[in-house]
Amino acid sequence: MAITVTMADYRTAEKSWWCPGCGDFGVLSALQKTLVDLQRLPHEVAIIAGIGCSGKIGNYINCYNIHTTHGRTLPVATGIKLANRDLTVIAAGGDGDGYAIGMGHFMHALRRNVDMTYLVMDNHVYGLTKGQVSPTSDAGFITSSTPQGNLEKPVRPLELALASGVGFVAQGFSGWVPQLIEILKAAIEYRGFALVNVISPCVTYNKVNTYDYYREALTKVEDIPGYDEKDRLGALKTVMEREGLVTGILYREEGPALEDLLPGFREEPIVSQDLRFRQEDLKALLEEHR
């Protein structure tokens, strides 16, 4: 008889540290529901979380969790997936974690294309350090570190991802959980690197980019006539024209993941292989240096 996974399997007894109304609650429940819908067993899922409010997600979801140093979710997730390719690997963090301190890893993970989902909870502000400007903050946004308003242009993660050549780019909104679940299902089932940027409002430090603001401003791609998720240029044009205010699967293209290209990379996960070495192998290696 098949084991049935339920929401209870993915819950923990941990009391949340998030503020009431935080967008991350919507992301957490969407992720739990996605894993239940996909019937993934909790012990076969690894969630790699960064530093910041969003990085606490690992405390609230029962699976194998690792909470990394600030900005390093993607290389950690890369190591986990290479070591055990049978795991469902999900990296999760905030806009500061991914697009400021972790930006270097973000760009390289996009082009490296290891099979994983990267879930970014984007609230346009630093929450845990109490309200400084973030890399996705709007121009002019007033914070404790930009008292005269943000002078820098925001990072545009969707455009960067589309330009990188990665095969799955999506954006969700934590206020629209049913759509987010569909996006996350597709991302997890996608073979390769899947970026899911989730607009996840901060109710404490961002009084501009609120739920109400987004409900008004966002458009679902399914409501855009003729939108084609296979058209990279079209996706780029839509995202740029609409200032990034679109949700849904923006671009999806099937292709090999890095694991499919690595020479000698076996179906059997590295962690299950016998790691002992034979004297004959050692002898053959030394022979090359004689």
Residues that bind another protein (CB under 8 A): 9, 12-14, 41-44, 46, 48, 56, 58-59, 62-69, 72, 74-84, 86-87, 104-105, 107-108, 112, 262-266, 268-271, 273, 275-279, 281-283, 285-287, 289-290
Name which of 26 and 75 has its Cβ closer to another protein: 75
Rounded-to-integer distance, Cα 220 and Cα 66, Å: 33
Task: Tell me which DSSP letter residue 99 carries.
Answer: I
Q: Least separation, in Å, of the C-beta of 94 and another protein?
A: 16
Name which of 3 and 233 has its Cβ closer to another protein: 3
Q: Least separation, in Å, of the C-beta of 57 and another protein?
A: 10
Cβ-proximal residues to 182 (8 Å cutoff; 6+ apart), any chain = none
Compute the C-alpha angle 281/283/285, nearest 5°.
Answer: 70
Q: Least separation, in Å, of the C-beta of 55 and another protein?
A: 9
**E strand map for the chain:** 45-49, 64-67, 88-94, 116-122, 168-173, 193-199, 219-220, 246-252
Name which of 54 and 68 has its Cβ closer to another protein: 68
Q: Least separation, in Å, of the C-beta of 190 and another protein?
A: 20
Q: Least separation, in Å, of the C-beta of 9 and another protein?
A: 7
Q: Least separation, in Å, of the C-beta of 145 and another protein?
A: 22
Name which of 178 and 289 has its Cβ closer to another protein: 289
Rounded-to-integer distance, Cα 181 and Cα 223, Å: 18
Compute the C-alpha angle 49/101/103, nearest 5°.
Answer: 90
Q: Are the C-beta atoms of residues 85 and 110 closer than 8 Å to each other?
A: no
Name which of 69 and 144 has its Cβ closer to another protein: 69
Name which of 163 and 282 has its Cβ closer to another protein: 282
Cβ-proximal residues to 184 (8 Å cutoff; 6+ apart), any chain = 30, 31, 34, 117, 119, 172, 196
Name which of 86 and 228 has its Cβ closer to another protein: 86
Burial degree of 169 (CB within 10 A; 0-12, 13-18, 19+) = buried
Q: Least separation, in Å, of the C-beta of 198 and another protein?
A: 21
